[in-house]
Amino acid sequence: MQPTSGGVRRTTLVAVTVAALVAVAVAGAAITSGQSSQPSADAVLDDTRDRYADAESLVTTADVTVGNDTANETATVEFAAAGNQSRTVVEAPNRTYRAGVNESVAWYVGPNRTAAWDRNASVGPAANAMPTDLANRSIDDWENGSAEYLRRGSDDGTDAHVIEVRHDDGEGTATLWVATSDSRLLRAELTDGTNRTTVDYRDTQFNVSVHDSTFDPPADRIAVTSVDRYDTFAAVQANTSLDLPELDATFREASVLTRASSTTVAQQYRDAGDNVTVVSTTSDREFGTENATAITVNGHDANVTTVRDRAVVYWEHDGVQTAVAVDASEDRAIELARRLDE
């Protein structure tokens, strides 16, 4: 992450708060205060991973500060998860970001735009992909780092284990404070060499009742009518008004997400070992980024880019946006896009 115009990028705050919340899964410690010996850092992390992974639900609130040598931004983050559903709300000065996933759809609501898509589709709108080095690191990535037990102490009166985790590439460091009594993560300090992030957790609750409506998109911003799934191309084509492109590959499934203002169809294929997604939508969702490269696909002016490690080719024609995404190179995505039968 690099500062821009003397400040922190606005998307940086949202992205890194998500990264800090992901750190919950590696940062708590199931070490009781009755233990007299100092645990190893690896033991704390192992116990923590199990503690959070085994929780049926989690609700937490945190104060987040992201800064560099020229500026700071703050936000309050509320996070809730139950089963395979989750919701994150980021309250920053003069703006609010919300994102979530329920049993049917994933969704994003920002100050200027909204988006919703079938949760099984492997391509989400670019507005929900706000990459930073820390945000893109998975739990497994942090496991590849080295952990050191620094001390047992307290910054706010709560007895805590203090652990430092350094990533193997040397670019990321996380210092974690974990309550010795009940495994709550109290504080996390993360740095990527440019920006510093501090997360203070005000409240964390495990295994509490969370109503399913918590994970629904705000009805006043996103109205999802239905999500229907189909096992054949013929079936999905017969159940949408869009003229769908077809890929000469193994068809796996497709979904049709209907909103009052738009229709989105996501087809899933398998080709030469690659999972391929073909999206057709009448919404104004944005597939690409400022790093996209202009190309031509079957007579259409198109773009190719990489979003969250997926190569994506996308274009617009007659009010319908089409995107082809694959976990492979951009050249592979272009080759697949040019094979579409339109």
Instruction: Sketch the domain layout of the chain as residue ranges.
Output: 10-206, 224-338
Residue 246 CA neighbour count, 13 Å, CB half: 10
What CATH architecture is 10-206?
Clam (2.50)
Residue 54 reports pLDDT greater than 60? yes
Write down the pLDDT at residue 103: 87
pLDDT one-digit tens code per residue, 270-293: 999 999 999 999 987 777 666 899
Residue 156 reports pLDDT greater than 90? no
Give the pLDDT band (50/70/90) at residue 121.
low
Please tell me which residue, 31 or 149, carries the higher pLDDT value: 149
Q: How far apart are CA 110 and CA 95, in angstroms?
A: 8
Asked if 117 and 264 touch (Cβ cutoff 8 Å), the reply is yes
Q: How far apart are CA 129 and CA 123, in angstroms?
A: 10
Write down the pLDDT at residue 182: 79
Least confident of 24-33, 65-74, 273-282, 320-329: 24-33
Quick one: tokens of 103? 């049993």
Q: How far is CA 12 from CA 2, 3, 28, 134, 313, in A?
A: 9, 9, 24, 10, 25
Calculate mean pLDDT across residues 164-184: 82
Q: How far is CA 205 from CA 34, 57, 83, 114, in A?
A: 21, 8, 15, 29
**Residues of the chain with pLDDT > 70: what percent?**
80
Residue 24 reports pLDDT greater than 60? no
Would you say the CATH fold of 224-338 matches that of 10-206? no
Calculate mean pLDDT across residues 230-250: 97
- What's the CA angle centered on 314, arms 218 and 101, to 5 degrees? 25
Residue 137 reports pLDDT greater than 60? no
Q: What is the CATH number of domain 224-338?
A: 3.30.200
